[in-house]
Structure formats: structure tokens, C-alpha cells
Amino acid sequence: MARYLVLILVAASLQASADSFQPSHSCSEPTVPYEFDDEFERQNFINEVEEYKQCLSDFVEEQNDAVQKHKAAAEEAIDDWNSFASSLN
């Protein structure tokens, strides 16, 4: 029972010490023209859309990587506690 209480406290403290801000992407959304004047303008817009999509995808991938690192750190802390608590018995 005490082990579970400590695990809850460890998890709560990890969450409390998490980053206090939420990062946002710095991707620029392309401006959609009312109509395209020529093929160059249309192709340029398509390229801007692809760049925007790639920028957002890169941001999401970076954030997911950070989540995995935080999760691994939390699991390591729990393992450390469990190991310590087991050594007391």
C-alpha cells in the first residue's frame, strides 16, 4: 500500500515539474489566393502548402520524440523507487 502511495506521489511530482509552457509550431500557413493568375502562381502555392505540411509534420515528430523521452524518464524514476523499496524488505 505504501509503495502505491509513493508511486502516486512520484508521478504527481513529475507532472508538477513538467514544462510549464506548451510549445507551438512556427510554421507559416500559406495564403490562399482568390484565383491563380498563371501556372507559376498555382505551382508556387502548391509548393508552399507542401512546405507547411512538412513543417507541421516535423513539429509533431519532435513533440512525439520529447513525449517518449519524458515517459522513459518517468518510468526510470518509478523503477528506481521500486528497486529501493524492494531493498527495504
Q: CA angle 43-47-23, nearest 5°? A: 155
Instruction: Read off the pLDDT of residues 44-61 as tens digits, 9 standing for 90 and up.
Output: 999 999 999 999 999 999
Query: Total domain count for the chain?
Result: 1
pTM exceeding 0.85: no
Q: Is residue 70 part of a domain?
A: yes
For cell 505540411, the residue is: 53
Does the residue 46 lie in any domain? yes
Given a cut of 80, is residue 24 above it in pLDDT? yes
| pLDDT score, position 40 | 97
Residue 27 lies in a domain: no
Please indicate, yes or no, if residue 34 is contained in any of the structural domains: no
DSSP per residue over 4-64, as a string? HHHHHHHHHHHHHTS-SS-----PPPPPPPSS-SSHHHHHHHHHHHHHHHHHHHHHHHHHH
Share of the chain above pLDDT 70, in %: 78
- Parent domain of 83: 42-88
Rounded mean pLDDT, 36-49: 97
